[in-house]
Amino acid sequence: MDKVKEVVTLCNLNFRKWFSSTRIKIILLLVVLLIYNNFSGVRLFAAAANVNVTPWGLPFLLSNFNNLIIIMFGYVFLYCNAPFIDEQKPYVILRSGRKIFSAAQILYIFVSSLIYAIFLAVATIVCSLPRVEFSPKWGKVFKTLAITSEGSQFNVALPVTEKITLNFTPIEAMVKQLLLLWLIGCFLGFLIFALNMHFPRFVGIGAASLFIFLDMFADFFRISHGFFSNRIYSFSPISWANLTIQKCNPAEMLPTFTYQCTVLLMVIAILVFIILLSFRKETIEVIPQI
């Protein structure tokens, strides 16, 4: 029990630095500005129609690959300093031991990835104010924007897609969206962590960035090569945060939700094992913080 408390305490040290970190503040500010811009037209449309917006906008936000790429780079900037060893950490490692310290950093990535995903969901609700109401259904605003072109009259930037409204209930879409965001964030965090243990920091950041740009390549590949090119999404884990890139009927050549979660969990488990093994053997070096 004492070891668990020590792991949690060391994990909290990383979160305390968020309040003084300019990098974290810039990440969150940029994400909020992106969400605000996407939902400004939705607010205007809701006001003109005199109806309220339901709090289920996050899946639509991520159905656009430009939004998805920006949000995923938020994860990269969040974890670019992995394994989070500044000038004070060598003394912490000496006192707590490598196992405790590495477990704390792993816990930090798991928790911070979830917090970032929840922050995105909350930000979509806040940016819809004051016309927000809770409903277990998609609501008139999203239903109308999904099946008509009326959004163009109000410059609605949010890509409200009919595939999401037809194939998912709001609760189902939000649960799947948050789970995939969390797992993808963990994947990026642990990938950067594992590579930064062995190579200069730009290698880990570059590898994570390549996976993000793979989503852009997959999108262009599908447009240029047609229906059968959808198979490329089985190898683009960043794309899985987009619920439209998910198999909803037998005819679609897209990865299923079960496949996505299984692959992400397996890769995360492998990366965590590599990190724990590396922490036992590698020389601990102070990494200048960005």
**pLDDT digit string (tens) for 211-228?**
998 887 877 766 666 555
Read off the pLDDT band of 89 (50, 70, 90). low
In this structure, is residue 257 part of a structural domain? Answer: yes
d(C-alpha 99, C-alpha 19), whole Å: 27
Q: Is pLDDT above 60 for 275?
A: yes
In a domain, 249, yes or no: yes
Q: What is the mean pLDDT of residues 157-162?
A: 89
Question: 147 CB contacts (<8 Å, ≥6 apart)?
Answer: 162, 165
- How far, in Å, CA of 13 to CA of 112, rounded? 12
Instruction: Quote the number of domains for the chain.
Output: 1
Q: Number of C-alpha atoms within 13 angstroms, CB side, residue 247?
A: 16
Which of 89-103, 125-139, 152-166, 171-185 is least confident?
89-103
Whether residue 285 is contained in a domain is answered as: no
CA separation for the pair 198, 152 (Å, rounded): 50
Assigned domain for 286 exists = no
**Structural domain includes residue 289:** no
Query: Per-residue pLDDT for 91 more than 70?
Result: no
Residue 54's identity, in one-letter code, is T
Is residue 158 situated within a structural domain?
A: yes
Q: Is residue 118 part of a domain?
A: yes
Residue 284's pLDDT is what? 59
pLDDT at 251: 73
In terms of Cβ atoms closer than 10 Å to its own Cβ (0-12, 13-18, 19+), residue 32 is middle
Burial of 271 (0-12, 13-18, 19+ CB in 10 A): buried
Residues 240, 244, 248, 253, Cα dihedral to 10°: -70
Percent of the chain topping pLDDT 90: 48
**Whole-number Å distance between alpha carbons of 74 and 80:** 10
Check residue 49 and give its pLDDT: 86
Domain that holds residue 231: 2-280
In a domain? residue 287: no
Other Cβ atoms less than 10 A from the Cβ of 223: the count is 9
pTM of the predicted structure, to 2 decimals: 0.92
Confidence of residue 290 (pLDDT cuts 50, 70, 90): low
